[in-house]
């Protein structure tokens, strides 16, 4: 795991999330931007995780672990759209567009 100890909440990245960021050519700065200025936040009821939606269609899936935020995976627009289409409202609940995480 990678940890970003920037001011505020501590963030850790799972190996899986780092692999997906590399595969999808999504930078650490882009992920942090999504977390600090999301367009919206969705709660995934099935997995008890949150999804921050950002510009360029990036979706960051994360969970609160004690005093840390763990980044579980990072999705591109295509991947997130496919999940949303498949499961819709029975799995995802929009919490608030524009809520700040960091």
Position 2 in a domain: no
Considering the entire predicted model, what is its pTM? 0.83
Asked, for residue 100, whether it belongs to a domain, the answer is no
Give the total number of structural domains in the chain. Answer: 1
Strand pairing category for 49-53 and 40-44: antiparallel
Residues 6+ apart with CB under 8 A from 62: 35, 49, 50, 51, 52, 69, 70, 71, 72, 101
**Residue 40 falls within a domain, yes or no?**
yes
Q: 40-85: per-residue pLDDT in tens?
A: 999 998 999 999 999 888 999 999 998 899 999 999 988 888 887 8
83, 87, 89, 94 alpha-carbon torsion, rounded to 10°: -20
pLDDT tens, residue by residue, 1-52 = 445 555 567 999 999 999 999 999 999 999 999 999 999 999 998 999 999 9
CATH assignment of the domain containing 37: 3.30.2310.20
């Amino acid at each position: 795991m990678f940890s970003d100890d920037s001011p505020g909440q501590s963030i850790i990245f799972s190996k899986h999330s780092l692999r997906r960021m590399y595969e999808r050519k999504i930078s650490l700065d882009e992920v942090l931007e999504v977390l600090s200025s999301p367009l919206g936040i969705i709660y995934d009821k099935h997995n008890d995780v949150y999804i921050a939606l950002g510009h360029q269609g990036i979706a960051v899936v994360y969970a609160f672990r004690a005093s840390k935020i763990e980044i579980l995976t990072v999705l591109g627009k295509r991947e997130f759209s496919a999940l949303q289409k498949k499961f819709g409202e029975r799995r995802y609940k929009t919490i608030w567009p524009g809520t700040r995480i960091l």
